[in-house]
Amino acid sequence: MRVGVVGATGYAGSEILRLCASHADLEVVLATGETNAGKRIRDLVPALAAAYPSMVFRDTNAVLTSDVDVVFLALPHGQSQKLVPHLLERRISVVDLGADFRLKDEKEYHAWYGDAHAAPALLASSVYGLVERHRKELVGATLIAVPGCYPTASILALAPFLDAELIERRGIVVNALSGTSGAGRAASDRLHFSRLSGNAEAYGLLLHRHTPEIQQELDAELLFTPHLVATSRGMLVTAYGRVCDPSLTTESALDLLRATYRDDPFVVVVDEPPSLKDPVGSNLCFVSARVDARTGWLVAMSSIDNLIKGAAGQAIQAWNVANGRDETMGLPMTGVTP
């Protein structure tokens, strides 16, 4: 398949380029980066020099006339919806790593993102690209909305317990830690070394835009608080839900996770709490749980690499399933250690 990567100069877009280089069925023929058009990929991202020794970034509009089979969009919110209708008209499959087609209700999109949606008719036909939850719907999909990194980790940790009606659907609390690559390549004061080094801070309090996405997929109400920590990659989620079935124990919670994910190659159920670093470099998600009988709370935990399972790897995993490939094709099954 001939691949176009739009927004290839960002961290998620660069990761798509990296993963496609080892995918047997995906050949990148176009990489765009608006402010870096004309530059060689190897000069902006030296790590990709061997895979793309001479390819140069082109401007975004090149995707509208290029001969490609699938386009991966790695753009800020609000930009994909301007391109997607034109791409679909040309029968080009679209895998959107941005937020534009994740929410099914255009009013929710307007409320959380502040703008009216430019292609609301496509919201119903987009498929949410969390394979572990939407594998059947993804088969044959031509517009895939790749989940955000925080929603991915949160949903995989909490969904089995909500599906089984073991915890209440209101009053859920999600605390999450993320490496700085989740904030993107653009420079900002809070990402300066002198401020970030040895530091951690909460942000997006009460109104983080991943909140409605998590609530939509879990059909639950929650309070979500993300934190930025001084590492480049990795994400760790600790979520709390009120137990509504007194028979739930730590062992039965772990058994439920094992049963839920026994056929999912990228979800690893662990007895001990997962660490932020365990999945880094892989498309894996580590999950675990504890039940506190004293207070009546379930603690659900997960960790992912925010740029792989939380973005580029998940995008390719969803494309694999949509197009009849092996789910694991081209994706790393092992993390990097130490």
Determine the Cα–Cα distance for residues 20 and 55; give it in Å rounded to an integer: 14
Q: What is the pLDDT confidence band of residue 232, given thresholds at 50, 70 and 90?
A: confident
Q: What is the CATH number of the domain that holds 188?
A: 3.30.360.10
Q: Are residues 15 and 104 in the same domain?
A: yes
CB-based burial, 279-309: b 16+ in 10 Å, e otherwise: bbbbbbbbbbbebeeeeebbbbbbbbbbbbb
What phi and psi, each to the nearest 5 degrees, are found at residue 309?
-60, -25
Q: Are residues 75 and 170 in the same domain?
A: no
Q: Are residues 86 and 172 in the same domain?
A: no
Domain tally for the chain?
2
Confidence check: pLDDT of 159 > 80: yes
Q: Catalytic residue among 20, 149, 244, 285, which? A: 149
Expressed as residue numbers, the domain containing 236 is 149-305
Percent of the chain with pLDDT over 70: 100
Q: What is the pLDDT confidence band of residue 7, given thresholds at 50, 70 and 90?
A: very high
Q: What is the mean pLDDT of residues 148-163?
A: 98
The pLDDT value given to residue 230: 87
Give 302-331 pLDDT, tens digit per residue.
999 999 999 999 999 999 999 999 999 999
Residue 172 lies in a domain: yes
Q: Are residues 211 and 255 in the same domain?
A: yes
The pLDDT value given to residue 338: 85
Domain boundary among 91, 125, 159: 125
Lowest mean pLDDT among 55-59, 105-109, 114-118, 197-201: 197-201
CA distances from 179 to 130, 143, 187, 210 (A): 21, 28, 15, 16
Q: Known catalytic residue: 285? A: no
Give 246-287 pLDDT, tens digit per residue.
999 999 999 999 999 999 999 999 999 999 999 999 999 999
